[in-house]
Amino acid sequence: MVFGIATGLGAASADALYAALAGSGLAIVSAFLVNQQNGIHLVGGLFLCYLGIRIALSVPAAHGAEDHKEGLAGAYGTTFFLTITNPITIISFAGIFAGLGLAGLDNNLVSVTSMVLGVFIGSSLWWLFLSGVISLFRTRFGAKEMLWVNRISGFVILVFGIIAIGGIIL
């Protein structure tokens, strides 16, 4: 469960960073990220392909995720990287904040800080919930079932990587 929490904190940190960019009205940085979306899609897509193949071919750990050699920092960093290389995240935050009238709060540091903390806490709580639920059900799966979970999830991640790369070409 600790490994899942570290993973979630990586995603929550990237979400908070993008929320800060969108909420602060940093149009230049947001526009740059949107303009670089092909490169970001390529890097993110290639990383997803690598990750999907690695997961599909991996053998489930006998003693849980805490035994992984990447450790908690690796879980955090990998998820942060995957989330930060998804240009849809910044576009989503910018669209949501604009729709709610929250864009351009750069004149009010308290509002921006509250919003970023809200995004970080909300995302962290969601990942804590997911990690808790998964830890409850993990004991009900044996090695054979976990191998199939790895194969299926690895394949799905690989397909998403191919789609991300294919979006650049098409």
Question: Is it the case that residue 170 has pLDDT exceeding 70?
Answer: no
Mean pLDDT of the chain: 77
Structure tokens at 168: 């650049």
Question: Concatenated DSSP letters for the chain?
Answer: -HHHHHHHHHHHHHHHHHHHHHHTT-HHHHHHHHHTHHHHHHHHHHHHHHHHHHHHHPPPPSS-GGG-TTHHHHHHHHHHHHHHT-HHHHHHHHHHHHHTT-TTGGG-HHHHHHHHHHHHHHHHHHHHHHHHHHHHHHTT--HHHHHHHHHHHHHHHHHHHHHHHHHHH-
pLDDT in tens, 9-63: 888 888 888 877 776 665 555 566 667 777 777 887 888 888 889 888 988 766 5
Kindly tell me if the per-residue pLDDT of 152 is higher than 80.
yes
Q: Which of 71-80, 105-114, 140-149 has the lowest mean pLDDT?
A: 105-114
Q: What pLDDT, on the 0 to 100 scale, is given for residue 155?
A: 93
pLDDT interval class at 67 (50, 70, 90) = very low
pTM reported for the whole predicted model? 0.58
Please give the residue range of the domain that contains residue 17: 2-169
Residue 124 has pLDDT above 80, yes or no: yes
Number of structural domains (the chain) is 1
Between 49 and 168, where is the model more confident?
A: 49
